[in-house]
Amino acid sequence: MANYAQIVEIVAPDKAVQGSRVDVTVKIKNTWTGSFRIYCVAVVDSTRFIDWLNEVVAPGAIREFSGAFIMGGADVRILAQSWYEGTDGYLYRDDEKTKSVKLAELVAAFSEFRINDYIKV
Amino acid sequence: MAIETLELALDPVQAGWYYDPDTGQWYYYDEEGKRYFYLAGLFYPVMEWETAPKVVNVRHGDTLRISVSFKYSGPSKTCKLYGSVGQKSAFNIFDEILTATSPSFTLSESTEPKTYYRQVDIAITTAIAAGKYYGIYAKLIDGISFKERVTGSVALEGAIFVVSAEPTFSDFQITDYAKV
């Protein structure tokens, strides 16, 4: 259970094709009584694509932290975390959430075939 | 063999035989809605025909260049463009007389439809007669099934006219006569 902030949502597609860019937004709400600096980290396959982004957030407010990664050749799980800074100056993990992105199959699709012109050459 | 009456709601179509009351013919439709006419043990694809937007005059020995465009999304794919000059025969079958194939080209992997422009050159030979009109069509080949407006064109009727190589006189008339 989070102490000071809650990850409200991880916005990411359910499916992505290999090699495509996957945009991710982590929405974090300040659930404490005062403003404080929220740190956000998001990882996929051991790669940190949201790298300690941080912002001071007012009580009850929601802030969005965005990043992106390139989809690999298999299903992946995004792990997002919120962190806060303790009075001792160290960062402590607060909330954590995951979201899966499945590998989408790229299907061949043709359309709008037409003859535009024909000439004697 | 299941025989069914033609229903005009053909999208999606169930493969099978359908009776067309307009033509009084039985046709076979495949899973993609492509229509075939059956004759002497063979299936002939029935083409959709349109009147050509222009007529190009050609002579034997000329080359006709057909330029096409299409959209593609999906994995990387290699294919060729196929073009043909021919005539409309019974049941709207395109009777191919001259054909040509372009060199292979590769469609790049893409998640979004990308527009491609390609050309195929067809040599005009004496296989087609002078003094006649012919139709054209083009399609993608190499593991790609033909479907009008998707992987191939409709047939353009009367797209080319083969001009005789011999000197040709016509429309001779007396336009006036007078005392001079």
Question: Which helix (H) or strand (E) covers residue B106, if one does?
Answer: strand B105-107
Cα B170 to Cα B105: distance, rounded to the nearest angstrom: 46
Q: Name the strands in the sheet holding B16-20, side by side, starting at the edge strand that comes first in the sequence.
A: B3-5, B16-20, B25-29, B35-39, B42-45
CA–CA gap between residue B111 and residue A51 (Å, rounded): 28
User: Using CA of residue B17, residue B23, residue B25, residue B28, what is the dihedral sign?
Assistant: negative
Lowest mean pLDDT among A51-55, A82-86, A103-107, A109-113: A103-107
Q: What is the pTM of this model?
A: 0.65
Helix, coil or strand: residue B90: helix
Domains and CATH numbers, chain B: 12-46 (no CATH), 47-162 (2.60.40.3930)
**CA proximity to B76, closest of B117, B119, B120, B114:** B114
Q: Which residues of B touch A119 (CB under 8 A)?
A: 56, 64-65, 67
Greater pLDDT, B20 or B152: B152
What pLDDT digit, counting tens, does each position of B152-166 carry? 999 999 999 999 877
| Partners of residue A23 in chain B, C-beta under 8 Å | none
Average pLDDT over residues B136-164: 92
Is the CB of B153 inside 8 Å of chain A's CB atoms?
yes
Q: CB B75 to CB A110 under 8 A?
A: no
What percent of chain A clears pLDDT 90, i.e. is strictly above it? 88
pLDDT for the residue B12:
44
Question: What's the confidence (pLDDT) of residue B10?
Answer: 47
Nearest-CA residue of chain B relative to A117? B67
Phi, psi of A70 (to 5 degrees): -95, 130
What is the rounded average pLDDT of the residues A98-115?
93
Would you tell me how many other CB atoms lie within 10 Å of the CB of residue A121? Answer: 9
pLDDT tens digits along B30-40: 766 667 777 77
Q: How far is CA A41 from CA A56, A91, A115, in A?
A: 15, 12, 52
Query: Is A1 touching B (CB cutoff 8 A)?
Result: no
Residue type, A53: L
Determine how β-strand B63-74 pairs with β-strand A109-120. antiparallel
Task: Give the integer Cα–Cα distance in Å for B50 and A114.
Answer: 12
Q: What confidence score (pLDDT) does residue B160 get?
A: 97
Q: What are A19-30's pLDDT values in tens digits?
A: 889 999 999 999
Minimal-distance CA residue of chain A relative to B120: A118
- pLDDT digit string, tens, across residues A72-92: 989 999 999 999 999 999 999
Q: Is B91 helix (H, G, I), strand (E, B) or coil?
A: helix
Instruction: State the pLDDT confidence band at B109, using cuts at 50, 70 and 90.
Output: confident
Chain B residue closest to A16 (CA)?
A: B111
| Residue with tokens 């902030």, as numbered in its chain | A5
**Residue position matching structure tokens 């962190």:** A83
pLDDT number for residue B9: 44
Of chain B, the percentage scoring pLDDT greater than 90 comes to 57
CA separation for the pair B102, B79 (Å, rounded) = 9
Alpha-carbon gap, residue B34 to B19, rounded angstroms: 14
Instruction: Report, in angstroms and rounded to the nearest whole number, the Rg of chain B calculated over CA atoms.
Output: 21
Rounded to an integer, the average pLDDT of A31-53 is 95
Mean pLDDT of B25-48: 72
At residue B143, the 3 state secondary structure works out as coil
Order of all β-strands in the sheet with A91-104:
A15-17, A91-104, A76-85, A36-44, A47-57
d(CA B120, CA B63): 10
CB contact under 8 A, B111 and A110: no
Q: For residue B179, what is the DSSP state?
A: -
Query: Is B150 close to A110, i.e. CB distance below 8 A?
Result: yes
**Tell me, what amino acid is at B2?**
A
Q: Which of A106, A116, A120 sits opposite B68 (nearest CB)?
A: A116
pLDDT tens, B52-83? 999 999 999 999 999 999 999 998 999 999 99
